[in-house]
Amino acid sequence: MRKYRLYQVDSFARRVLAGNPAGVVSDARGLADEEMRAIARELNNSETAFILPGGDGYDVEVRFFTPVCEVPICGHATIAAHYVRAKELGLGACRVVQKTKAGILPVDIVPVSGDVSIVMTQAEPKIAAPLDAVLTERICTALGFSPCDLRPDCPVCVASTGSGKVMLGIRSDELLNSLAPDMGALRELTPLSGGSGFHVFTLHPGEEYLARGRYFNPAGGIPEDPVTGNANGPLGAYLVHFGLFQEGVTDEFRFRIVQGEAIRRAGTMDVIVSVKDGRPQLVRIAGRAVIAFSAELELE
């Protein structure tokens, strides 16, 4: 029998049963691709991370599976994987270079209050052209609101730091928290949008949390993701790209977000965007985590 250690980790949270749950297999050597997918389906989190040994130019490889498919990278599962690895290996302050399907990227382990925070560097930020009015209206309708509810300073477009998300800035938290999207319609619209999901957000300059959001990805088997690193990282690049809240910003734009309030899985993260000549250059996200439980899986 082959034995594997499994973890359930709540990312972007400091207490269990909050934030975004991710599965982690801390040593996935010997698992076939189909077995990884089956384990992800069994755990039934939005993503499960599988940690593999390093190689030339990187310390560790991490692969990410939803219950239905492999994805290039995942923010909260990256936080979970490196939190588990830091705990298993007793890591202090250090930088780990990870290989993912989105590229080879650094992850920093930062000691804080007897625990660690994980800082994930994401892939090159890219902002696509705004979607046309017809497609925008169809997406808004599927999400359950009118194009009139969109913020006029927030073009609807795909932003990416490794995995593209459709960005939709709306006017009110009340509307955000009342959304009940048509998941079938969103699934059909996903390939037309050019992204892998839909990030709906509100903005609150001057408050503790600049952004509140909800992320929907039914095409990837995730009707709603509680707290999404690969949506809020791109959001940071998006805000810089369109010149929002940058007064006085020279080389770094930093803010906090909260997500998951509407589904009672609230979690927070810091988003840090390196800026050059008013353009986003590099995006990092930082978050805490907590291990909810671990178990041993036996496979023939």
Tokens linked to 115:
């625990």
The structure tokens 């699934």 sit at: 187
Q: What is the DSSP string of 229-268?
A: HHHHHHHHHHHHHTTTT-TT-SSEEEEEEEE-GGGT--EE
3-state helix, strand, coil in the chain (%, to 5): 25, 40, 35
| Residue environment code for 167-201, b if the CB has 16+ CB neighbours within 10 A, otherwise e | bbbbbeeebbeeeebeeebbbebbeebebbbbbbb
Q: Which two tokens stand for residue 201?
A: 């957000």
Selecting among 47, 61, 137, 174, the annotated active-site residue is 47
**What's the distance, Cα to Cα, between the start and end of the chain in Å?**
5
Q: Is the dihedral of CA 40, 187, 20, 76 positive or negative?
A: positive
- Number of other residues whose CB lies within 10 A of the CB of residue 205: 10
47 is catalytic: yes
Distance between CA atoms of 94 and 268, rounded to whole angstroms?
23
Q: Distance (Å, rounded) from C-alpha 268 to C-alpha 179?
A: 20
Instruction: Calculate the alpha carbon distances from 146 to 89, 133, 150 in Å.
Output: 50, 12, 8
Active site residues: 47
